Amino acid sequence: MSVAPKRPKGPPLNAMRAFEAAARHVSFVVAAEELNVTPGAISQHIKALEGWAGTPLFRRNAQGVELTSEGQSLVAGFTAAFDELADAARALRNLKPKADFHIAALPSVAQLWLPKRLRRIRAKLPDITFSVTAMETPPSLSRELFDLSIFFAEPNRSPNQISVCEDVIVPVCAPTLLDRVQNAQGFQGIPLLHDQVWKDDWSMWSSNTGNHLVDEKSGPQFSLYSLAVEEAKAGAGVLMGHLTLIEEALTSGTLEMANAHSCPTGLSLVVEVPQQSRRRLETNDVIALLLRVDHSQ
């Protein structure tokens, strides 16, 4: 008669994943965003793990959470383990004979900057299937199965970051509104269009260029920059234009510069890629084409 003794079980993998993300960010909210679950789910996973371990791993307070000494002692081991798991998942995915290339991008970049470039890349690399995910914050390329990301960020010297161009802003409007805008002092009486992500654009531009605004906070608010661009084209008001994103509208004449003064935001449009050992074979070709297309516009 065979013997099948009951074996001790480890904690659930999802609970360990939740702990690792929460410990790395020291935040249940940011961990929830990364893992695409609710902060409540992260909290429940952590409680389950603490119950299994028999000791608190986080201290909860009104300001958020912080690791206990016991929790801190686990961070390096958990991070290394999930880094290895991510590498194994990439290796498994890369066995596919036809490449699925995944791009993460800021919604405004995905809608206004990427499409025409991606069409040309597809024409050059027809055997690759491209997928684009629009998201507000950059993903962790060491963990998630994205092959590159495109966001506005402060440029650095990392070999995994390519700076495409500086982010420069200037007020823009529809041609039908141009005469009225240029004759108005401080855009008085003309709606200012606002993107909710870049809510400080108008005050930044005013401070850096010395152009006084009558009321920099008034005007319609938009959760998507592409919607604000369309409203500006329709003559609904003046928009703070990010030149990288509205180049096509300026070239076609559907938008005009409403003021001659522009200013940099301190950010750049950057392409991030995983470290060399985690990149697909096609990654360098995609980046070269992406930048070549950009410079040819």
Q: Please report whether residue 125 resides in a domain.
A: yes
pLDDT of 1 reads: 55
Query: 173 and 254 share a domain?
Result: yes
Q: CA-CA distance, 208 to 261, in Å (whole number)?
A: 9
Query: 109 and 254 share a domain?
Result: no
Query: 184 and 238 share a domain?
Result: yes
Q: In CATH, what number is assigned to the domain containing residue 27?
A: 1.10.10.10
Query: 124 and 253 share a domain?
Result: no
Query: 230 and 255 share a domain?
Result: yes
Helix, strand or coil, per DSSP, at residue 42: helix
Query: 177 and 259 share a domain?
Result: yes
Band (pLDDT 50/70/90 cuts) for residue 142 is confident
Q: Please report whether residue 91 resides in a domain.
A: no
The answer to whether 148 and 103 are in contact (CB under 8 A) is yes
Q: Please report whether residue 95 resides in a domain.
A: no
pTM: 0.83
- Split into its structural domains, the chain has a count of 3
Query: 133 and 212 share a domain?
Result: no
Q: Tens of pLDDT along 159-173?
A: 999 999 999 999 999
pLDDT of 296 reads: 44
Query: 134 and 181 share a domain?
Result: no
Q: Which domain range does residue 112 map to?
A: 100-151+269-296
Q: Tens of pLDDT along 226-247?
A: 999 999 999 999 999 999 999 9
Q: In CATH, what number is assigned to the domain containing residue 285?
A: 3.40.190.10
Answer with the residue of higher pLDDT: 225 or 184. Answer: 225
pLDDT of 294 reads: 46
Query: 273 and 261 share a domain?
Result: no
Query: 188 and 144 share a domain?
Result: no
Q: Please report whether residue 118 resides in a domain.
A: yes
Q: Please report whether residue 7 resides in a domain.
A: no
